Structure 1
Amino acid sequence: MSPRPPVATANRAGLIGCEHCGALSPLHPDPIVCPRCGATLHRRKPDSLNRTFALLVAAMILYLPANLLPVMVTTSLFRKTHDTIISGVVYFWNTGSMGLAVLIFSFSILIPMLKMGALGFLVISVRHGSARTRRQRMVLFRIVEFVGRWSMLDVFVVALMAGLVRFHSLAMVEAGPGAAAFGAVVVLTMLASFSFDSRLIWDNDEKCDER
């Protein structure tokens, strides 16, 4: 069987693409400036894997207090309660708002966990030089990028949960320390996704190590 012909890439063609405007420029030693928009160009994002991994570790550390610490403190005429995201899901489920409970669980617990797991898998597979399932991993990264565009919905859902509790119980609702941790998790996962250079997935196919 004849060997598979090399895939045509900008790197092989001696070109470098701008991440901001998409313009192609001749490949020179890093860094160079895009002639169209003036952005700094790099063949690969500097220290991409280490940055992504560090941001992921920070997000994972904060993920626990985000779910265990109270995200809101509810003060009524009779009592003061501290509610976590999980207790909020249980509250809406028990009060008949099952759709809202599923929404909060999905955006506040499930999706952040899946995003961190997917990015962790991509970082580990690239770091270990895996040349398998490149297309599938690229699709996975595109899904993570797409979900990342809606990341602020996580925070919005928590705010919605607080507003509904205030409406139903006519109570004073204040943000708890879990809300700050949760917001930090959202921001860190967004930064981790932005720091990851998907071109590293294909570098093994070119027998080069740009990491």
Structure 2
Amino acid sequence: MSRAAVTGAQAGLISCETCKLLTRPLDAEHAGHCPRCGAALEVRRFQSLQRTWALLIAAAICYIPANLLPVMVSNTFATSDAETIMGGVVFLYTSGSWPLALIVLVASVMVPLGKLLALAYLLVSVQRGMAGRHHERARLFRIVTFIGRWSMLDVFVDTFTVALVQLQPLMSVLPGPGVLFFAAVVVLTMLAAETFDPRLIWDSATHMEKQDD
């Protein structure tokens, strides 16, 4: 029966979070600094789970008003209309711009919600010591960090619209309070992805291998 590969932690090695250099720490309590880039080395990120949970819960709370409050308020000479994210999606779809409606729906509703659910799944799986599917969970974490930069699309659209449509007193477009909450969701989920230590995923794999031995 083939043996599993030895992990870096089992070999007494540590990877630099900045330049990814694999090196040996000074001692168990003080890992020291990377000999190549000088960044501080960490065997595991301090209180990774607690910090990630705190940021994730805060993002989930902000997600509700981000979708309920208007993100854009358009004022004309006779009317004033406030649009939420879903209201904007419906308007774009009914006006014939369904590709743009689909982009806004995915980037502004589905992506933030998917990041919240994915990070919550990773946290629960690590805390419960879930066995198996380690490669899939590591790949899921990489996807979450990759798509995080596209989550601000709705805020960018609102910003460009506000900057372009300023024909006062005939017409003006102003950002709504929902934009602040939506931006908070994006920032908090990005910070949560940064504070989560993906090496914890493989710690549970190592623990299960020791139990099998």
Separation in 2 of the partners of 1:148 and 1:79? Answer: 36
Q: Which residue of structure 1 aligns with residue 134 of structure 2?
A: 134
TM-score by length of 2: 0.88
For structure 2, the residue ranges without an aligned partner over 5 or more in a row are 209-213
Q: Where do residues 37-116 of structure 1 align in structure 2 (5 Å cutoff)?
A: 37-116=37-116
Q: Answer yes or no: is the 8 Å Cα contact 1:108–1:157 preserved in 2.
A: no
Q: Which residue of structure 2 aligns with residue 22 of structure 1?
A: 20
1:139 Cα offset (Å): 1.2
Q: Answer yes or no: is the 8 Å Cα contact 2:144–2:193 preserved in 1.
A: yes
Single out whichever of 141-150 and 38-47 deviates more from structure 2.
141-150
Q: Answer yes or no: is the 8 Å Cα contact 1:154–1:186 preserved in 2.
A: no
Separation in 1 of the partners of 2:153 and 2:191? Answer: 16
1:37 Cα offset (Å): 1.5
Count of residues in Structure 1 that have an aligned counterpart in Structure 2:
204
1:160 Cα offset (Å): 5.0
1:166–1:128 Cα change, 3 Å: farther
Answer yes or no: is 1:13 the counterpart of 2:24.
no
1:92 Cα offset (Å): 0.9
For structure 1, the residue ranges without an aligned partner over 5 or more in a row are none
Q: Which residue of structure 1 aligns with residue 174 of structure 2?
A: 174
1:171 Cα offset (Å): 2.6
Q: Which residue of structure 1 aligns with residue 211 of structure 2?
A: none
1:166 Cα offset (Å): 7.1
Q: Which residue of structure 2 aligns with residue 205 of structure 1?
A: 205
Q: Where do residues 135-150 of structure 1 align in structure 2 (5 Å cutoff)?
A: 135-150=135-150
Moved over 3 A (4+): 157-167
Q: Answer yes or no: is the 8 Å Cα contact 1:122–1:137 preserved in 2.
A: yes
Separation in 2 of the partners of 1:26 and 1:148? Answer: 32
Q: Deviations over 1:15-51 (max 9, x none)?
A: 1110101122213223421122221111111111111
Q: Which residue of structure 1 aligns with residue 186 of structure 2?
A: 186
Single out whichever of 56-65 and 16-25 deviates more from structure 2.
16-25
Identity %: 48
Question: 2:82 is paired with a residue of what secondary structure?
Answer: strand
The amino acid that maps onto 1:6 is A
1:133–1:18 Cα change, 3 Å: same
The amino acid that maps onto 2:30 is D
Separation in 2 of the partners of 1:104 and 1:127? Answer: 34
Separation in 1 of the partners of 2:158 and 2:12? Answer: 48
Q: Deviations over 1:135-188 (max 9, x none)?
A: 111111111121123333342244356578879xx7301111100000010100
The amino acid that maps onto 2:8 is A
1:154–1:12 Cα change, 3 Å: farther
1:204 Cα offset (Å): 1.5
1:101–1:64 Cα change, 3 Å: same
